[in-house]
Structure 1
């Protein structure tokens, strides 16, 4: 008899717990949805999207709306939508048991801005992928223009490197090597602003200090890029401090183990 009483009480207890759980869920599901906590991580200087802009974008696309209930929140669709934004590297959207929810975003880091022959403008990020520009935010990175055929959303740097036919006609991998090196070097990062690709495929750098042009030539490997920048740094730190920034009109790094310079003509 006592066992039956215990079993009955246990069943009643389980029913009460389940009922409470169902009632709590129904209560929470019908509560009004609060605004999300948004965390945006950005490795670059200027973030490409702000918390306010993200909220406005979600509202504009009806992922968030007035008098929205917790049960009407579609986390999977929101995460997929944010992940499709060109400037977003990764996103995680989750909801806590009390109905509060959070959006965590990692933005891409742009290292170069490219203006190709077709007039299309886009960024190249630190992982060698292209990303679109925005009307509201601009990254302070090297700008590349000239004889560049590469288009946005076409090929990544890794795809070009691993394709013998692409590597001979596209410049994105070379642009990546130069811009990636400059981004990691505080001296060159503060000195260089624009790079032009001429009809021969040579990269010509325009520094922010002085009016000379730097004939960089090709950038076919990391070793080549590092060697040329090492030569340039030696020239800047040793020769320029004696000769001055405005004495030369051209600094040519194309030749192995040497720098060929042209001085400005003296005005009589």
Structure 2
């Protein structure tokens, strides 16, 4: 008798659990996106992207997410869209049953600014990726100028950029040199001239 009673109790609990799950699932299907929170990493060293930029990006793509059913939002497609931005290293989009969407972004961190003679230039980040110059954020980082070739023009130019990146990484990781050296100049012979923070002399 007790065994039968236990079976009935567990059967009832299982049925109740299934009903509750179905109810919650049905409710979740009807949830609308009511709030979007953008979380940006490393805003101390990198402020290329803002909350407003992300919302403007969605708007330019014709994406009206707020008020839209959560079940119809493809979070992976949103991540791919966000990662097309040169300043964004990684994106993670998640939603919950309260109607909240969270967008977590990892920004690229600029290491140095390249200023070839007669050209606008670009940044290299800590991983060696090329970033375009930004009109809204100017980082205080190592400057490299002079006779620097366009990396798209030749393999030698890519090798040169690799050497420059390795050198600037070394400088940035050593406090003494980081305080002493502020600029690297590439002369016409391809030699590197170090320009110190104090004094007018240069070091070949």
Normalising by structure 1, we get a TM-score of: 0.62
Which of structures 1 and 2 has the bigger CA Rg? 1
Structure-2 residue corresponding to 1:197: 186
CA displacement at 1:35 relative to structure 2: 2.4
CA-atom RMSD, angstroms? 3.4
* Partner residue of 1:181 out of 161, 170, 180: 170
Could you say which residue in structure 2 is the equivalent of 1:114?
114
Aligned residue runs from structure 1 range 1-268, under 5 A: 10=11, 17-18=17-18, 20-42=20-42, 45-117=45-117, 119-151=119-151, 154=152, 166-167=155-156, 170-215=159-204
**Structure 1 residues 202 and 214: CA distance shift in structure 2, 3 A:** same
Identify the residue that residue 248 of structure 1 maps to in structure 2.
none
**Alpha-carbon contact 2:36-2:102 (below 8 Å) kept:** yes
Deviation at 1:90, TM superposition (A): 2.0
- Checking the alignment, whether the CA contact within 8 Å between 1:149 and 1:170 is kept in structure 2 is no
Bigger Cα displacement from structure 2, 87-96 vs 22-31: 22-31
Q: Using the alignment, how far apart are the partners of 1:100 and 1:65 within structure 2?
A: 11
8 Å contact from structure 1 (residues 46, 138) kept in 2: no
User: Gaps (5+ residues) in structure 1?
Assistant: 156-164, 216-268
Provide the C-alpha distance between the structure 2 equivalents of 1:150 and 1:54, rounded to a whole number of angstroms: 30
Alpha carbons 1:79, 1:92 under 8 Å: kept: yes
CA distance in 1, matches of 2:97, 2:158: 54
Q: Is the 8 A contact 1:117 1:148 kept in 2?
A: yes
Query: What does the per-residue CA deviation read over 1:8-38, in whole Å, with 9 as the maximum and x for residues that have no partner?
Result: x94x876765554444334333333132333
Question: Do the aligned partners of 1:146 and 1:198 also contact (CA within 8 Å) in 2?
Answer: yes
- Name the structure, 1 or 2, with higher relative contact order (CA <8 Å, separation 6+): 2
Change in 2 beyond 3 A, CA 1:185/1:141: same
Q: Closer, same or farther in 2 for the Cα pair 1:45/1:168, shift >3 Å?
A: closer
User: In structure 2, the residue corresponding to 1:190 is in which secondary structure?
Assistant: helix
How many residues in Structure 1 have an aligned counterpart in Structure 2? 202
User: TM-score, normalized by length of structure 2?
Assistant: 0.78
Is the 1:44–1:110 Cα contact (8 Å) retained in structure 2?
A: no
Give the whole-Å Cα distance in 1 for the aligned partners of 2:161 and 2:76: 34
